Amino acid sequence: MSRQHRRHQRLKLKSLYVWHRYIGLTAALFVLILAVTGLLLNHTERFAFDSRHVHNDWVLDWYGIEAPERYTSYALEGDHITLFGRHLYHNLHELEGEHEGLIGALRVGDLVVVAVDREILLLMGDGELVERLGGSEGVPSGMRRLGLDSDGALVVEGGHAYYQPDADFIRWRHWEGDPDTVTWTQADTLPDKLYEELVEHYRGEVLPVERVLLDLHSGRILGRHGYLVMDIAAVLLIALALSGSLIWLRRRR
């Protein structure tokens, strides 16, 4: 092998080194992102990333997550039952499940009675669920509004008639009284402070950590075409592997 040829080979190797170094530097950031997010995603269940939510305002704004502008709320002597989006709240405590509409809420004795969709939720004063009553528990269909009769007992206006439960909410019967004597519940506006706290709570319950990790991993956090960035990163990694192998092979010779 001539001297000139050896020099040419050394120059080629040096050039490959330089390319390998720059590709490595460029890919390093992506490797870190892919490795860290991949590692975390492998342990989603252990760290409950699917049930934990992002609270960071910057990330929530980036995803365009906003609280709904409209809500329905009923005030009960200092407490508030509010439907915010599909989330139902007793003050700031979120109740289980998702709901389409809040029909009314009032206090009957020690219990808070909340009518949502086709169900009535019985709550303790602190918001703890006593029982969820549906059609099979006698709740009338097509509920329109709730109210209290002159004796302070619950009256429910159903699709075609008025109904009243017994004191334990176990048996229901037709109510034959005069609807004009009933004090029907009226929706109310929330105090500003509670509204702002609910907005914060609502936004913090929407975006699971797992979603952000997946979007970081796939590149989709950068938008609809963000995956192309990770595609380029993948190409760089392939180039890195190939250039590394080539350098190793040439140095062996």
Partner 1 sequence: MPRSLLPLLTLLFLSWPTLLPAGGETVYQTPEAFLEQQFPDGVPEPDVVWLRGEVRETVKDILGHRYPSLRIRYWHKDGRSAWILDEIGKDLPITTGILVNAGRIEALRVLIFRESRGWEVRHEFFTDQFDQARLNEGHKLDRHIDNISGATLSVRAVTKLARLALYLDQWIRDDTQD
Position among 170, 235, 238, 242 found at the interface with partner 1 (CB under 8 A): 170
96 lines the binding site for partner 1 (CB under 8 A): yes
Residue recorded with tokens 């956090």: 221
Query: Which listed range, 9-17, 145-153, 165-173, 203-211, lies at the site for partner 1 (CB under 8 A)?
Result: 165-173
Q: Is 100 a binder of partner 1 (CB under 8 A)?
A: no
* Interface segment toward partner 1; rule CB under 8 A; list 58-66, 145-153, 166-174, 204-212: 166-174
Could you say whether residue 250 binds partner 1 (CB under 8 A)? no
Least distance CB 206 / partner 1 (angstroms): 17
What is the full DSSP assignment across 58-102? HHHHHTT----S-EEEEEETTEEEEEETTEEEETTEEESS--S-E
Q: How far is it, in rounded angstroms, from Cα 88 to Cα 78?
A: 17
136 is a site residue for partner 1 (CB under 8 A)? yes
Using the rule CB under 8 A, is 128 a contact of partner 1?
yes
**Sign of the torsion angle spanned by Cα atoms 121, 125, 126, 130:** negative
Among residues 57 and 128, whose Cβ is nearest to partner 1? Answer: 128
**Surface-to-core class of residue 168, CB atoms within 10 Å of its CB (0-12 exposed, 13-18 middle, 19+ buried):** exposed
Q: Least CB distance from residue 27 to partner 1, whole Å?
A: 37
Distance CA 52, CA 50 (A): 6
Q: Which residues bind partner 1 (CB under 8 A)?
A: 96, 124, 128-132, 136-137, 168, 170-171
